[in-house]
Amino acid sequence: MLDKYKAIFITRMTQQLKNLLNKTETEIIKNEEVYGLLHTIKGTSGTLDLDLLFQLVSGLMTKVEQRKVDWTLSELKGFLSELLDICEEYEHFHEEINRIPDFRDTEVPLIQLIDDDISLLIFLKDMMERKGWMVIANSNAEHAIEQFYSMQPDCIIIDINLPIKTGLDVLDDIQKHTKHSFVPKIICSIDSSREKRIAAYKKGADDYIEKPLDMEEFLIRIERHIERKKIFDQSVLIDELTEVYNRKFLKDSYNRFINDVIRTKTSGTIAIIDIDHFKKVNDKYGHVVGDKILKEFANFLKTNIRSTDTLFRYGGEEFVILFQRAIESDVADVLNRMLKCYSEMTFEVDDGEQFSLAFSAGIFEIASGDVPLKKALEIADEALYLAKENGRACIKSANKMKETPNKKLLNISIVDDDSLIRSILNNILDSIEINNLTIDITEYEDGIQFLESNRLQENGMHFLILDGIMPVMDGLELLQIVKKTVYKHNAHILMLTGRKSEHDIAEALRLGADDYVTKPFSIKELQARIIRLITRMI
């Protein structure tokens, strides 16, 4: 799989070394320049499984980091002689790279870990991901709470002694939301006093684990909580917040819906409905107000459809309705009347401020029994996306769509000064296929080039992959700038770093990165991680 990239990398590395050493005997070579080249070689060689090269360069980098003076040409030639010998020994590879296999196990549990002890956070993330779980790590409590709502983890592990906002404060905040659903919440603390344990349990903790951790016991306990979560999700058919059916019950209901279409030889219509600009409500008024809006919206829908129609909360602010024995034109009329009525309603927050909302919907009429649920949802969702692209607050029918089906747009930006790493990432991303999603990939050599492109102003969602070390502006600087823009809530960020420094990881998490990956990275694992993050985003 990697042969083509290995050949390109070895050729390029050899040329870079020759360029570095193509000096006169009197010229001085900056130590920073040597370090920069070795840093690039180390990150890429590890990613491409060139282990001998990776180990050698790691040793050379340690010596360069300790060196306080620049290099003469003769000194540097001697220092890099073994590296030059390896370049000559490596054979060039000429096989074509295969398409990267599709790793889409989006059912892998997502665990959120919140701890300001970066050493422990990195260690726990690594240990849990070895179990096959996906872990998002946070050291900043406020960002962790926002990420909890957006990523919807299957389990959350919180250190009790966080700065500014304690673990109990975080637990208290999310408990306002999770009282309507089951998400295992585990508190960890070096203080195992009865007082602390009782306080945690009163605020909704499902477990309390004492530090220092016994890793074998810790992983087993987390695994048991995840299994309980899975059993709970499979057994519950009612969404606790909105008190309508959840997506688990949709499959069985759709089978009965299709059987009725076949038996009666009539049409039925499926609708996907989405509250417009709902994220802005959460951002401005908080998730407690958002939950209240969702409950009232579900009740509004339920009271305005027939007893033979079935309503489901599909996820977030999206709802699905199965309209039994109803053609799409009749359903469109009903939904348009409901839209007019809902748009005229006002909502009030505690300080007396009032606001109104609207919704968009995509509908799809089904007249035969050969349309599986997945396909029906995809088609209706395409119509919903068209409604949002056309200004929202409208109903669009998939049956009337004459153009190529519209898809959601995800803009992926790769910002890395290493052209080979950009090429590898582009190949990974280009192989990803997610239903109803169009992916637009753009590469940038540095942060300045990215900012000058005004990429974040483009329509659609944004996913940024930032390298930690780059000339002119590194990934941390770019991350800090992005998080200060008006587009910060629409940009999900994955940091790549070749530095093992806990400080850099701590800074990335503090500044609001959604995840980090340390170079060298496994291509398969990185692809799986990106797919899971994107799936959670949309």
Question: pLDDT of 482-499, one tens digit each?
Answer: 988 887 777 889 988 765
Separation CA 167–CA 189 (nearest Å): 9
DSSP output for 445-482: SSHHHHHHTTGGGSSSEEEEEEES--SSS-HHHHHHHH
Q: Is the separation of the CB atoms in 18 and 87 below 8 Å?
A: no
- Can you list the positions of beta strands (E) in 126-251? 134-138, 155-159, 185-189, 207-210, 245-246
pLDDT of residue 268: 95
pLDDT of residue 100: 32
Burial of 109 (0-12, 13-18, 19+ CB in 10 A): buried
pLDDT of residue 149: 79
Q: Which residues of 74-86 are buried (b: 16+ CB within 10 A; e: fewer)?
A: eebeeebeebeeb
Q: For 244, what's the count of Cα atoms within 13 Å in the CB-facing half-sphere?
A: 27
Tokens representing 70 are 């620049």
Tokens representing 374 are 């997945």
Tokens representing 195 are 């007082």
Residue 398 is which amino acid? A
DSSP-assigned letter for residue 240: T
pLDDT of residue 102: 35
Separation CA 285–CA 349 (nearest Å): 8
CA distances from 12 to 155, 194, 515 (A): 44, 61, 30
**Vertex 110 angle, CA 104 and 114, to 5°:** 145
Q: Which of 344, 370, 371, 372 is nearest to 357 (CA)?
A: 344
DSSP output for 191-228: ---HHHHHHHHHTT-SEEEESSP-HHHHHHHHHHHHHH
Q: Is 412 helix (H, G, I), strand (E, B) or coil?
A: strand
Task: Please name each of the domains of the chain with its CATH number.
Answer: 3-89 (1.20.120), 103-235 (3.40.50.2300), 245-400 (3.30.70.270), 407-538 (3.40.50.2300)
- Positions in the chain whose pLDDT score sits under 50: 1, 91-106, 402-404
Helix, strand, coil proportions of the chain in percent (round to 5)? 50, 20, 30
pLDDT of residue 123: 87
pLDDT of residue 53: 81
Tokens representing 214 are 């016994």
pLDDT of residue 49: 72
Which residues are bridge partners to 320 per DSSP?
A: 272, 312
Separation CA 329–CA 469 (nearest Å): 56
